[in-house]
């Protein structure tokens, strides 16, 4: 027994040492790029705002590494580096389904358009183009599709799920307290279809995003926008041949023919392989954010649901993000701050904590907000105080409203499970918020007043930050969701632009020309991150294996169970199909 225990600890120490050596070598590793190479961009992993330092991202052992992702920041830097890299002759877009939102795809698409200024080629090929992958592919000099392949070109749709019937069967009553005609986050619990107000806002912002989608493809493919609308509306593209007929692709090719063209474009002999480097490998050559530089612009990444506490790389913890903003504010080398927001919102209290740090920072140095796929509700709350706000045309923002839901599960417990409750309390409101009984009218009034108070604070913060009247903010608020293009027209954002536009604006406001980008919050040491996250990766891996496509709903339930206090959250998850 002693021998087994001692052996276990020796093996554990050896494993830790091996992991440490691998991490150390991975951090210093550079990828060699040969002359006349092609940058291969499959983009087949989830794209997050900021890349991680994990050296085990390419390893899949029992689920560890199975959920690897790519950072948008790393992708953009790599495309820019490839533009001036003499060894890179072009980009090969190997696309099927892009695991990212429309605004993220917009950032990558703009970077590819800028890459084309170098007069290097971009070639796109796929067996199946989804709507989002085709949006990227359309920038290519040549867009090819497998002769038996599929190109989805049918327009946008947004589908919502409603739980009212299920809750009624379970005898669970959702007790809703909200402010905002359009604050439809509660609708799935109390209705069986969209309200007219909700249908109006979804129709509006979805139409705005689709119009932008068609405009950009029209410009790249030289096909009139009206023709593209007709092609999609009448489902004219049913086969690969149809896609070629209507000029959505330049040719129908098999993979071997694509490789032959890449050989021709790079001057490679037909009997030799094309020299290439994958994007995941090329990212390793990106310049690191270290060194002693006197002039800096700090980028604070705020991505995910907003909650109180520390949070992590996939959520916005008020303590962690506030500390990051505070550190950027007190660092004399930092001359401006760019807050990169990609969030559907969350806790109203946590949002206000972060908002306060933005206000304090704005007093001493410029603060610019760059919005990603989402900057709604709480995501807009933490943005509204900035000097200037940039959004993409297909960013989803606004949703200025608040809500709270307290389920009354008394009948569920009594009638379905045979469980009853009794209580003793020392004050009239000691058990306020209990799910084992319905709210009294007095309690409902108390909570409604609190929700109203928070909404008043929210609209006041927006009015002060955007230099509008509170009455006007209330009119465009009411929980309504807007596209970035719509938000520009009503004054919720200042400019349509990408992340680099926000950086340049920050430099202009700070009156600096030479500077270095530094990112906050500081990421964990790779070794600590590996051991902290490995258990979560394994659990996530087996959950995905068991639940399959239903895993997304499991995640939503988990997130809902973490809600605390009044929420400033986007009314629904938007999935464009």
Per-residue pLDDT, 61: 45
Per-residue pLDDT, 473: 96
Q: What is the mean pLDDT of the chain?
A: 87
Residue tagged 């009119």 (tokens): 475
Task: Read off the tokens for 183.
Answer: 């604050």
| DSSP reduced 3-state for 384 | coil
Per-residue pLDDT, 51: 84
Interval 478-495 mean pLDDT = 95
Task: Read off the tokens for 340.
Answer: 């990169």
**Catalytic residues, which ones?**
183, 377
Interval 464-471 mean pLDDT = 96
Q: Give burial (CB, 10 Å; 0-12/13-18/19+) of 116.
A: middle
How far is residue 143's CA from residue 136's CA, in Å, rounded to a whole number?
Answer: 10
- The vertex-77 CA angle with 75 and 78, nearest 5°, equals 65
Per-residue pLDDT, 433: 87
Please give the backbone phi and psi of residue 230, each rounded to the nearest 5 degrees, phi first. -65, -40
Per-residue pLDDT, 231: 97
Interval 26-38 mean pLDDT = 79
How far is residue 462's CA from residue 378's CA, in Å, rounded to a whole number?
Answer: 11
Per-residue pLDDT, 222: 96
- In 3D space, the residue among 60, 573, 164 whose CA is nearest the CA of residue 344 turns out to be 573
- In 3D space, the residue among 214, 550, 188, 254 whose CA is nearest the CA of residue 393 turns out to be 214
Q: pLDDT tens-digit profile of 245-271? A: 999 999 999 999 999 999 999 999 988
Provide the total of helices (H) and of strands (E) in the chain, helices listed first. Answer: 21, 23
Per-residue pLDDT, 158: 86
Query: Comparing 184 with 359, which gets the higher pLDDT?
Result: 359
Query: Comparing 362 with 181, which gets the higher pLDDT?
Result: 362
Per-residue pLDDT, 96: 84
Interval 341-346 mean pLDDT = 93
Residue tagged 């993220």 (tokens): 104
The answer to whether 235 touches 223, Cβ cutoff 8 Å, is no
- Of all residues in the chain, the percent with pLDDT exceeding 70 is 84
Of the pLDDT bands very low, low, confident and very high (cuts 50, 70, 90), residue 285 is confident
The answer to whether 23 touches 526, Cβ cutoff 8 Å, is yes
**DSSP code of 315?**
E
Of the pLDDT bands very low, low, confident and very high (cuts 50, 70, 90), residue 44 is confident
Interval 199-220 mean pLDDT = 95
Query: Comparing 536 with 307, which gets the higher pLDDT?
Result: 307
Beta bridge partners, 151, equal: 129
Of the pLDDT bands very low, low, confident and very high (cuts 50, 70, 90), residue 558 is low
Residue tagged 């989002």 (tokens): 132
Beta bridge partners, 421, equal: none
Q: Give burial (CB, 10 Å; 0-12/13-18/19+) of 474.
A: buried
How far is residue 480's CA from residue 183's CA, in Å, rounded to a whole number?
Answer: 6
Per-residue pLDDT, 314: 83
Of the pLDDT bands very low, low, confident and very high (cuts 50, 70, 90), residue 492 is very high
- Of all residues in the chain, the percent with pLDDT exceeding 90 is 68
| pLDDT of residue 118 exceeding 60 | yes
| pLDDT of residue 100 exceeding 70 | yes
Per-residue pLDDT, 11: 81
Interval 109-135 mean pLDDT = 96
How far is residue 298's CA from residue 303's CA, in Å, rounded to a whole number?
Answer: 16
CA atoms within 13 A on the CB side of 46: 11
Per-residue pLDDT, 539: 57
How far is residue 477's CA from residue 491's CA, in Å, rounded to a whole number?
Answer: 12
Which stretches of 195-287 are assigned E, i.e. beta strand?
Answer: 251-252, 276-278
Please report the domains of the chain, with CATH numbers, ordered by start residue: 30-153+237-285 (3.90.226.10), 296-422+433-569 (3.90.226.10)
Per-residue pLDDT, 567: 57
Per-residue pLDDT, 533: 53
Per-residue pLDDT, 364: 97
């Amino acid at each position: 027994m002693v021998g087994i225990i001692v052996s276990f600890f020796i093996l554990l120490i050896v494993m830790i040492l091996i992991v440490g050596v691998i991490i150390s070598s991975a951090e210093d590793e550079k990828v060699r790029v040969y002359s006349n190479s092609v940058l291969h961009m499959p983009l087949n992993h989830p794209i997050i705002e900021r890349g991680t330092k994990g050296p085990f991202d390419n390893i899949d052992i029992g689920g560890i590494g199975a959920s690897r992702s790519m950072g948008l920041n790393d992708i953009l830097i790599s495309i820019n580096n490839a533009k001036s890299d003499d060894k890179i002759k072009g980009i090969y877009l190997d696309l099927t389904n892009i695991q990212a939102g429309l605004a993220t795809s917009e950032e990558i698409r703009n970077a590819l358009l800028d890459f084309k200024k170098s007069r290097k080629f971009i070639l796109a090929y796929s067996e199946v183009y989804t709507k989002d992958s085709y949006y990227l592919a359309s920038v290519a000099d040549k867009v090819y599709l497998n002769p038996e392949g599929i190109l989805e070109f049918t327009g946008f749709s947004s589908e919502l799920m409603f739980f009212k019937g299920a809750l009624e069967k379970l005898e669970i009553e959702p007790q809703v307290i909200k402010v905002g005609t359009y604050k439809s986050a509660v609708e799935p619990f109390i209705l069986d279809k969209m309200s007219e107000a909700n249908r109006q806002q979804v129709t509006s912002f979805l139409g705005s995003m689709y119009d932008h989608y068609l405009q950009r493809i029209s410009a790249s493919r030289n096909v009139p926008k009206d023709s593209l609308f007709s092609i999609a509306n009448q489902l004219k593209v049913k086969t690969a041949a149809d896609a070629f007929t209507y000029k959505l692709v330049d040719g129908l090719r098999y993979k071997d023919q694509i490789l032959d063209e890449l050989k021709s474009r790079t001057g490679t002999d037909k009997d030799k392989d094309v020299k290439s480097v994958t994007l995941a490998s090329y990212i390793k050559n990106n310049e690191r954010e270290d060194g002693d530089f006197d002039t800096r612009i700090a980028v604070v990444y705020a991505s995910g649901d907003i909650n109180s506490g520390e949070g992590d790389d996939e959520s916005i913890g008020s303590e962690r993000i506030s500390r990051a903003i505070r550190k950027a504010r007190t660092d004399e080398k930092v001359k401006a701050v760019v807050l990169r927001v990609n969030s559907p919102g969350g806790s109203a209290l946590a949002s206000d904590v972060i908002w306060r740090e933005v206000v304090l920072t704005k007093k001493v140095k410029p603060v610019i907000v760059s919005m990603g796929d989402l900057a709604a509700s709480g995501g807009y709350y933490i943005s509204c105080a900035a000097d200037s706000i940039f959004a993409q045309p297909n960013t989803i923002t606004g949703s200025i409203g608040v809500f709270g839901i307290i389920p009354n599960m008394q009948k569920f417990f009594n009638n379905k499970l045979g469980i009853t409750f009794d209580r003793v309390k020392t004050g009239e409101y000691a058990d306020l918020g209990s799910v084992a009984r319905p709210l009294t009218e007095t309690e409902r009034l108390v909570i409604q007043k609190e929700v109203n108070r928070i909404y008043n604070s929210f609209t006041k913060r927006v009015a002060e930050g955007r230099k509008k009247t509170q009455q006007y903010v209330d009119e465009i608020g009411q929980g309504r969701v807007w596209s970035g293009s719509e938000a520009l027209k009503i004054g919720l954002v200042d400019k349509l632009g990408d992340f680099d536009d926000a950086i340049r604006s920050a430099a202009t406001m700070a009156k600096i020309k030479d500077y270095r980008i530094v990112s906050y919050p500081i990421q964990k040491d790779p070794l600590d991150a590996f051991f902290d996250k490995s258990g979560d990766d394994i659990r996530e891996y087996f959950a995905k294996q068991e639940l399959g496509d239903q895993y997304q709903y499991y995640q939503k339930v988990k997130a809902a169970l973490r809600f605390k206090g009044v929420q400033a959250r986007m009314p629904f998850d938007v999935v464009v199909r």
